[in-house]
């Protein structure tokens, strides 16, 4: 089994996911994971691929998320490290796989953090172009803003990584900024 690549992640996700919002989320998480990998000195393309594929079964099985992921990915030849990271991103919500590695912990936190960054960027006239972590932190505290974003997951993930929330938001912004057009978070 080879490490998951972006090419393989794209091929696999296009078999299960067609909703534009889910594809945008996959790209946002992928981009944020690339920034996290660079932060930790890891292989960015691998982390990006894992981030892109993390919601593999969500469109088809939203109420049974991650229960239809492990076997198909294993059959497709996806490596165990990548499968475990994907399963761990749902820890405590729809999975009992606890995030243990830097990649697993990063995916756990950026799944929610990148969504909050994206929602914050969409509210600004300048989009993500000059977005700072302080603006995201302000929106983090407003529980009515992007109410479906799990703030507890962001707090837990930051604690697991020994990082401040603002540092994670900054990395998400840095990773997502080059993809602003495809993410719909450009200046208005």
User: What is the per-residue pLDDT across 131-154, written as a single tens digit (0 to 9) for each?
Assistant: 999 999 999 999 999 999 999 999
Domains (ranges, CATH) in the chain?
Answer: 6-183 (1.10.3210)
pLDDT at residue 92 in the model: 94
Would you tell me how many other CB atoms lie within 10 Å of the CB of residue 122? 15
Quote the CA–CA distance of 110 and 168 in Å, as a whole number: 8
Instruction: Provide φ and ψ at 91, rounded to 5°.
Output: -55, 130
Structure tokens given for 123: 């509210």
DSSP annotation of 185: -
Q: How far apart are the first and last CA of the chain?
A: 44
Instruction: Identify the sign of the CA torsion 43, 45, 48, 54.
Output: negative
DSSP string, 49-103: HHHHHTTTTTTT-GGGTTTTTHHHHHHTT--HHHHHHHHHTTBTTTB-----SHH
Collect all residues with Cβ–Cβ distance below 8 Å to 175 and sequence separation of at least 6: 31, 32, 33, 34, 35, 36, 114
Instruction: Provide φ and ψ at 89, rounded to 5°.
Output: -65, -20
- Comparing C-alpha atoms, which of 40, 126, 143 is closest to residue 154? 143
The pTM score is: 0.97
Low-confidence ranges of the chain (pLDDT < 50): none
DSSP annotation of 130: T
């Amino acid at each position: 089994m080879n490490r998951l690549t972006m090419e393989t992640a794209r091929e696999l996700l296009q078999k299960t996911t067609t909703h534009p919002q889910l594809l945008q989320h996959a790209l946002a998480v992928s981009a944020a994971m690339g920034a996290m990998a660079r932060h930790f000195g890891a292989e960015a393309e691998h982390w990006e691929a894992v981030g892109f594929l993390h919601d593999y079964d969500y469109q088809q099985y939203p109420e049974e998320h991650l229960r239809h992921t492990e076997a198909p990915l294993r059959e497709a030849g996806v490596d165990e490290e990548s499968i475990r990271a994907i399963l761990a991103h749902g820890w405590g919500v729809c999975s009992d796989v606890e995030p243990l590695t830097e990649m697993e912990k990063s995916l756990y936190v950026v799944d929610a953090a990148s969504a909050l960054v994206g929602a914050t960027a969409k509210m600004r006239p300048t989009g993500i172009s000059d977005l700072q972590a302080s603006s995201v932190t302000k929106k983090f505290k407003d529980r009515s803003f992007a109410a479906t974003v799990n703030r507890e997951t962001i707090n837990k993930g930051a604690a697991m990584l020994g990082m401040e929330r603002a540092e994670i938001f900054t990395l998400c912004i840095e990773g997502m900024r080059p993809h602003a057009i495809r993410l719909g978070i450009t200046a208005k």
